[in-house]
Structure 1
Amino acid sequence: MKLLVVFALVALSAAAPWSGYMSDEPDGVPTYQKQHDVNYVFYKIFERLRDNRLADKATSFNPVGDISMYKDGGVAVRHLMDELTHGRLLEKKHWAVATNKRHLEEAIMLFEVFMQCKDWNCVASNGAYFRERVNEEEFIYAAYHAIKHSPLTQHVVLPAMYEVKPHHFTKTQVIEEAYEAKEMRLRNIIFQNNFTGTPNDIEHRVAYYREDIGVGTHHLMIHLENPFWWKDTYGYHIDRKGENFFYAYHQLLNRYEAERISNYLPPLQELKLDEPLKEGFTPQTTYKFGPPFPIRNDDIHLHDVDKIGRIHEIVHMEDRIHDAIAHGYVEDEQGNKINIENDHGIDILGDIIQSSMYSPNRKYYGNLTTLAYTLLDHQTDPKNKYDTPPGVLAHLETLPRDPAAWRLHKRIDNIFREHIDSLPPYTKEQLVFPGITVADIQIQGNLETYFEEYKYDLINAFNDNTTQTEFYDIYATMPRLNHKEFTYKIKVQNNNGSPKKSVIRILAMPYRDGNGAIIPFDEGRWLAIEMDLFVKTLTPGDNEITRKSSEASITVPDVPTYKTLVEMTESRQTLEMYESATGIPNRLLLPKGNEEGVQFRLLVAVTDAQQDVNDESIITMNKYHHYGVRGVQPDKRPFGYPLDRRVPDEHIVDEVPNIKETMVKVYNHNIFIPIPHN
């Protein structure tokens, strides 16, 4: 039987606080109404609006009719309207990517309109109006960034991108079969969407990680939080933006390395610009309105790309950065030298390498990351002979699927390492938290991973002519990694005679590589995975800290399926746990094990919160993580501390009483848990 869900139409003027929803919004509009509008504006994004109220706004609203609703007096919206009325914007039903300069400019124009709105009526009205008139991909890009950063949408949950644009994640064959099922009015149907490639490719062993839709979502959220084009005039300064760019990618790479170890693969090798690229990639996906995503063959030589750039430009940019690291300073646009031989240096280098607006000299140091990924993506048609569309590397949510992306960022990560390894190691005195001793570390529960079947909604893959909001219960499924829950039991002694606020830092270092050889401590610390970071007050004497894996501050749960998100919104259920989507999926906290057990050094460091924490109010937050709160970073320490700097002698760690390590093993016994089928 067909399931029909009709969104409740709630007038803004009549809106009142709802159970489970925030009612202290800055403009007085309850989060329920905002979530309702967001759900509806992304529903069937390539078709007309289905919500009567928003549809009326789309036809009757005049964006420049009342410029008092904008903080800038209408400057941004007038600029966008001028581009629209003169036909200079990209048409609808056409691919668009942020690596295309003009596409990005158009998306930022709309983003700026949203950010200049004083209240939700302004946001919703402009959202409805421009949704029906601008390119869909550009609209999604602008709206997602605005929802993430606007003070008006701090409690709004973004629908999962793999359900807003399922074509980007789902094989063409699956989409076609699902569409046929929809046309035949079949319901409660599940189609299996397997990984690309075959076991004939050794790299296929880790396809489950690269093509995990949660990894793609995490990569998207990294950039939503820290867009390279961000300017402080949008509302606030993003603290340590460049360092965050480095560390978020560094952690993704380290987790990928751990997955490779568990599958007996060699370490990831950086991309060589003058050698053939061994790994090809066949996405097996097709644009909603357009051709298939392009295929890249194995063993291609990298070429210059017409109208984009040349390979030697990347080399020149890297040379300038290497020179800066060797000299210990960068130069700003006025020729002033900025010292980078300190804790802040990694932040400056991150801004430069990300091509951020925060870069002290964008003209000289260039746009390394953007250009490198764009050139790599266009290798399928470098001369633009065949009008080939962009590939998966051009989309933030699909970039991790391509094995070449990881090799390219390994190259970038090695530049960061060159700088970090040039800094002096920490001394024992710098590491010690006086009077604090970590006495014991125990793990309760099995450290065990397994695979499970996961389904996501294909509702936005279908076209239809109805004016109602329908969910057909047609899904795609994929295998994904998960782990059993476990608990840390950490015994800490406080010999200071008074309570001490502390930061508990838990990291895991791989002990052996894919061939079983022991990884030296200094190499292991560079491959360290952050497992948790939280604040705890230590009472005088013995303290036993119990911390569940489900409480990890660096992880987030999966956003509910589109249908569930709608149902929870309309029934006024709380969505608070899904608001902070910037973190690794909680099910990927533990890297995959194997039958023999993958060995890790589990390290616990207890540091002084009085010295480490920026904001007293952030100490009490449930989610104390390095992404910060509206640009404010809670942790003063370098990301990855105390394993961020080289450790020439591992015995110095043994001599620091507030740091302790233990050996653990992670297992995987080839267990697969399917979804129960009715």
Structure 2
Amino acid sequence: MGATTVALLVILAAAAAVPKRQTPEFDQVQQTRQKNILRLLTRYRQPPLWEDMAAIAGNYTLQPENYQVPELVEDFVQRKRSGEFLAFDEPTSVLEDSDVDQIKLFVDLLYHSKDYDTFYKTAVYLRETVNKAQFIISFLISVKMRQDTKDFLLPPLFEIRPELFITSDVIQQVYDLKMRGGLRPLDVGQYYILSNHTQYRTVHTPEEKLSYFTEDVWLNEYFADLNYRYPYFLSASNYTLTNGDVRGDVFYHTLRHLYARYFLERLSHGLPEVAPLSCEKGVPTGYNPQLKLLNGVELHLRPKNQNLLDADAFALQRIRYSEYRLYEMVDTGYVVSATGGRKRYKQSEATNILGNLIQGTADSIHPRYYGALYKDLLSLIGRYDPTQRYGLAASVLGKYETMLRDPVFFQIVKRILNIFEQYQNYLEPYTRKELEFPGLKIESLEVDRLVTYFDGFDLEVDNSLKASSTEEIEKIKIFASKQRLNHKPFTYRIKVFSEKPTKAIFRTFYGPRYDSYGNEMTLDEARQYFVEIDRFVYELVAGENDFITRSSSDFVSAEYGSLYMARLQEVVELALQGRGDYSPASEFRLGFPDGLLLPRGAPGGLPLRVYVIASPLPRGVPAAQVAGPRAPIAGDWFVSLADGRPVAFPFDRRIPHTHNFRVPNSYTEDVTVHQGTIDD
């Protein structure tokens, strides 16, 4: 891990500008609601310091007539009375059925509130009544689903629960600072810590070389946010899940993208591909997360060579049955439905069905038969104390915010992706006719020099502290300064010839040229590791189109992240005063962290291939509604720009003959990624 410094700062009004959109301004009511939403998340572990919130917390009671499903109230009251709910600070896991059952009840109360006022009061009540971690999870899920709250902006998860993103030594320093009174006012509203702390970690395993990637707070934020938008225990037919009808495709695309980026990051260090997790061979890789929950319980470490055969025997059996039945579906072309029996599935729906079955979502067509392989594998490794005899907290694999930190996560993902790849290998390779765009030719592709570097950024970590007043919250800001991977801005330029005016959709990927041993990879060997970084619609004129230029800041796959809490609070206050506005959450693009757009590379350069293909754009698909290459894209970009082709097209099928794959409307260019500094 790189150097870590704790610093105490004050947020000033001259912070970075808010992204602008051509959208109607929120009215005063909505702006006030947005402000209250932020207050709910501020110092959520202590009673509210604002009088209006404190009054609701002390006086509100759940009344059945205020909820669309009245029986939820009686269910909640009875379970609370019988002591079923977890204690306030007891560890919780998104993999434990009993924990998830409680979270779902809290989500239902919030989601089925008849109006916003009831929703808000219910949220305040739950904040002071139920397990704190479960409240945060259920609140985030419900806010993203309700029609009257989905436009509210939320701060980054690493500011809400910093203890899940920052190592325990830094969190301990924050506590020590608070307890010993080490904050000294130097000016009105400005405070500084008197000393810095630097920690160097010795690398003991190859995987620890990648900690800058697996522990990147924006990457873990991205992954957790996606899982809260698509909670596996809620059905898209009963809840408002955006793009819920293709959640299986989203699941596959997310894991494929994550694993490909992890593979390329390993190549940057000369590390070979990881082997898929084997329950028989156990887990050779040990892991120490260095994280501690706010109740003082540490997320346990895993010694190397963990023997899984000594784990839960029933879980192992369930995993074997689930995996066998999933491969049976892939091999036979038939799927077993809970209502319709055995039936042949369509090629267009296969990935979506398979994704739901593997994840074990509430939209799985037969959860009892196919189980939940992905969840069971995570749970098997994450529950090092399967009988709970010693009361160990869940591991990092039990929380969306921390899953990616553990190297074994990617071994599990590799095992999951093998099932999808098995299905894809049964498909006939694309013919030239399926890949070609008659009358269009990409004549050249130019890419700027690609340089990555590490730069510093500050994240607020004081939400883990308890404050004595609202004034303290507003004035004292404690930050952890960290290093993260970034890249210099770059552009690529495409020269295209078209016989006639036409609209085309362009896809841009990069992928490996050589494996970790220096052997050149064929396209078929490398296809699973190609990362799609850009997709756009372009109106071509007849003749030469010289040049279509795309900047890295235009890439739809990249997200610049949520607004920090302090900046978000400032924006809301300015809007309430009539001195500014801001865009609703539904207008923001959701994608991979921009800083991790490129793999780290190497000082001498990491050889990659950039591949671009232009395809005809059918009518009646989401991408056809996009006005141009720089039209704002909201939500999951690969859904908003869907054109009826598979999410990993054209790398979702075997490429046995390269000459058939290299069609005139595609182009491949060799590039290298250099690891250097911002000045290179």
**1:538-553 equivalent positions in 2, closer than 5 A:** 538-543=540-545, 544-553=547-556
Are the counterparts in 1 of residues 429 and 654 from structure 2 also a CA contact under 8 Å?
yes
2:561 equivalent in structure 1: 558
| Partners of 2:29 and 2:667 in 1: CA distance | 47
Q: Where does residue 338 of structure 2 map in the other structure?
A: 333
Query: What is the aligned partner in structure 1 of residue 658 from structure 2?
Result: 650
SS at match of 1:128: helix
CA distance in 2, matches of 1:447, 1:470: 41
1:293 positional shift: 1.0
In the TM superposition, residue 618 of structure 1 has moved relative to its aligned partner by: 5.1
The equivalent position to 1:95 in structure 2, one of 91, 98, 116, is: 91
Map of 2:259 onto structure 1: 253
Q: Confirm or deny: 8 A CA contact 1:199 1:205 kept in the other structure.
A: yes
Give yes or no for contact 1:3–1:470 (8 Å, CA) kept in 2: no
- Is residue 2:299 matched to residue 1:293? yes
* Structure 2 CA distance for partners of 1:65 and 1:644, relative to 1, 3 Å: closer
Instruction: Report the Cα offset of residue 477 of structure 1.
Output: 2.2
What's the secondary structure of 1:102's corresponding residue?
helix
CA contact (8 A) 1:304 1:382 kept: no
Q: Which of 510, 513, 517 is matched with 1:511 structurally?
A: 513
> What CA deviation, in whole Å up to 9, does each residue of 1:7-46 have, x standing for no partner?
xxxxxxxxxxxx9896577xx7754223212211011111
Aligned twin of 2:363? 358
Q: How does 1:155-234 map to 2 (within 5 A)?
A: 155-182=151-178, 183-186=181-184, 187-189=191-193, 198-231=202-235, 232-234=237-239
Shift of 1:115: 1.8
The unaligned stretches of length 5 or more in structure 1 are 7-18, 674-678
Structure 2 residue aligned with 1:676: none
Bigger shift: 102-111 or 471-480?
471-480
What is the CA-CA distance between 1:640 and the residue it aligns to?
A: 1.6
| Aligned position for 1:584 | 592
**Is it true that 1:74 corresponds to 2:70 in the alignment?**
yes
Question: Deviations 1:32-75 (Å, cap 9, x if unpaired)?
Answer: 223212211011111111233222222233331752xx4x2534
- CA distance in 2 between counterparts of 1:226 and 1:209 reads 24
Identical counterparts, % of pairs: 26
Partner of 1:275: 281
For the residue of structure 1 that corresponds to 2:321, the secondary structure is helix
Task: Pick closer, same or farther for the CA change 1:606–1:43 going to 2, 3 Å.
Answer: same
**Aligned with residue 100 of structure 2, among 97, 104, 115:** 104
Q: CA deviation at 1:405?
A: 0.9
CA distance, structure 2, for counterparts of residue 224 and residue 447 of structure 1: 34
User: What SS does structure 2 have at the residue aligned with 1:647?
Assistant: coil
Using the alignment, how far apart are the partners of 2:368 and 2:323 within structure 1? Answer: 14
Q: 1:591 to 1:640 in 2, by over 3 A?
A: same
User: Is the 1:188–1:473 contact (alpha carbons within 8 Å) kept by the matching residues of 2?
Assistant: no
Relative to the length of structure 2, the TM-score reads: 0.89
1:659 pairs with one of 666, 669, 672: 666
Contact map agreement 1:625 1:634 (CA 8 A) in 2: no
User: Is 2:112 the counterpart of 1:116?
Assistant: yes
**Any residues of structure 2 matched to 1:597-676 within 5 Å, and which?**
597-611=605-619, 613-614=621-622, 616-617=624-625, 622-624=631-633, 627=636, 634-654=642-662, 656-669=663-676, 671=677
Deviation at 1:454, TM superposition (A): 2.0
Question: Does 1:240 find its partner at 2:246?
Answer: yes
**RMSD of the alignment, in Å?**
2.8
Indicate conservation of the 8 Å contact 2:589/2:634, yes or no.
Answer: no
The answer as to 2:146 corresponding to 1:143 is: no
Say whether 1:431 aligns with 2:435: yes
Going from structure 1 to structure 2, the CA distance change for 1:475 and 1:2 (only over 3 Å counts) comes to closer
Quote how far apart the aligned CAs of 1:342 are.
Answer: 1.3
Quickly say closer, same or farther: Cα 1:304–1:333, change in 2 above 3 A: farther
- Aligned equivalents of 1:615, 1:159: Cα separation in 2: 30
Measure the CA separation in 2 of the matches of 1:48 and 1:343: 51
Structure 2 unmatched ranges of 5 or more: 1-6, 13-19, 185-190
CA shift in 2, pair 1:209/1:194, >3 Å: farther
Tell me the distance in 2 between the aligned counterparts of 1:523 and 1:2. Answer: 50
Q: Which residue in 2 is equivalent to 1:470? A: 474
Q: What is the CA-CA distance between 1:632 and the residue it aligns to?
A: 7.2
Distance in 2 (CA, whole Å) between partners of 1:49 and 1:193 is 34
8 A contact 1:339–1:345 mirrored in 2: no
Q: Shift of the alpha carbon at 1:560? A: 3.2
Rounded Cα–Cα distance in structure 2 between residues aligned with 1:436 and 1:638: 22
User: Match of 2:15?
Assistant: none
Q: Which amino acid aligns with 1:663?
A: D
Which amino acid is 1:253 matched to? Y
Secondary structure of 2:226 counterpart: helix
Which residue identity does 1:95 align to in structure 2? Answer: P
Deviation at 1:436, TM superposition (A): 1.8
Instruction: Find the aligned partners of 1:212 and 1:194 in 2 and give their Cα distance.
Output: 17
2:383 maps to 378
Per-residue deviation, 1:210: 0.8
2: CA distance between counterparts of 1:534 and 1:192? 45
1:421 to partner: Cα distance: 1.3
Asked if 1 retains the 8 angstrom alpha-carbon contact of 2:25 and 2:581, the reply is no
* Contact 1:281 1:297 (C-alpha < 8 Å) held by counterparts: yes
- Taking a change above 3 Å as real, the CA distance of residues 123 and 643 of structure 1, as seen in their structure-2 partners, is same
| AA at the equivalent of 1:597 | G
Question: Counterpart in 2 of 1:44?
Answer: 43
| 1:511-552 Cα deviation digits (max 9, x unpaired) | 112222111111211110011112222222222311110111
Are the aligned partners of 1:449 and 1:483 in contact in 2 as well (CA < 8 Å)? yes
CA–CA distance in structure 2, aligned partners of residues 95 and 574 of structure 1: 39
Task: Name the SS for the 2:527 alignment partner.
Answer: helix
How many residue pairs get aligned? The number is 648
Structure-1 residue corresponding to 2:130: 134
Is contact 2:279-2:309 (8 Å) kept?
A: no
Q: Describe the superposition over 1:325-345 as per-residue Cα deviations: whole angstroms up to 9, x where unpaired.
A: 111111112453333461321
Taking the aligned partners of 2:664 and 2:275, their CA distance within structure 1 comes to 36
Paired with 1:602 and 1:577, the residues of 2 have a C-alpha distance of 35
Letter of the aligned partner of 2:372 in structure 1?
N
Instruction: Give the 3 Å change call, closer, same or farther, for CA 117–321 of structure 1 in structure 2.
Output: same
How many Å separate the matches in 1 of 2:620 and 2:283? 43
Distance in 1, matches of 2:73 and 2:637, equals 30
**In 2: Cα distance, 1:348 partner to 1:73 partner:** 30
| Aligned-pair CA distance for 1:154 | 2.9
Describe the shift of the 1:65–1:382 C-alpha distance in structure 2 as closer, same or farther (beyond 3 A). closer
Alpha-carbon displacement from aligned partner over 1:625-656 (angstroms, at most 9, x marks no partner): 78269x877442111211211111111122x2
The alignment partner of 1:604 has SS state of strand
Name the CA shift for 1:555/1:405 in 2 (closer, same or farther; >3 Å).
same
Aligned to 1:524: 526
Query: 1: distance between equivalents of 2:82 and 2:460?
Result: 38
Change (3 A) 1:382 1:74: closer
Note closer, same or farther for the CA distance 1:209–1:20 as it changes in structure 2 (3 Å cut).
closer
After superposition, the Cα gap between the structure-2 partners of 1:582 and 1:234, relative to the gap in structure 1 and judged at 3 Å, is same
The verdict on how the C-alpha distance between 1:426 and 1:577 changes in structure 2, with shifts beyond 3 A counting, is farther
Contact in 2 for aligned 1:353/1:369 (Cα 8 Å): yes
Q: Determine which of 435, 446, 462 is the counterpart of 1:442.
A: 446
Question: Would the aligned equivalents of 2:613 and 2:667 in 1 still touch at CA under 8 Å?
Answer: yes
TM-score (norm 1): 0.89
Could you tell me which residue of structure 1 aligns to residue 4 of structure 2? none
Matched residues in 2 for 1:111 and 1:428: separation?
A: 49
Offset at residue 305 of structure 1 (A): 4.1
Aligned equivalent of 2:17: none
Task: Give the partner amino acid of 1:241.
Answer: R
Structure 2 vs 1, CA of residues 2 and 429 (structure 1 numbering), >3 Å: closer, same or farther?
Answer: closer
SS at match of 1:576: coil
Pair 1:567 & 2:535 matched: no
Structure 1's 188 and 523: CA in aligned 2 closer, same or farther, altered over 3 A? farther
CA–CA distance in structure 1, aligned partners of residues 101 and 415 of structure 2: 28
Q: Which residue of structure 2 lines up, in the alignment, with residue 537 of structure 1?
A: 539
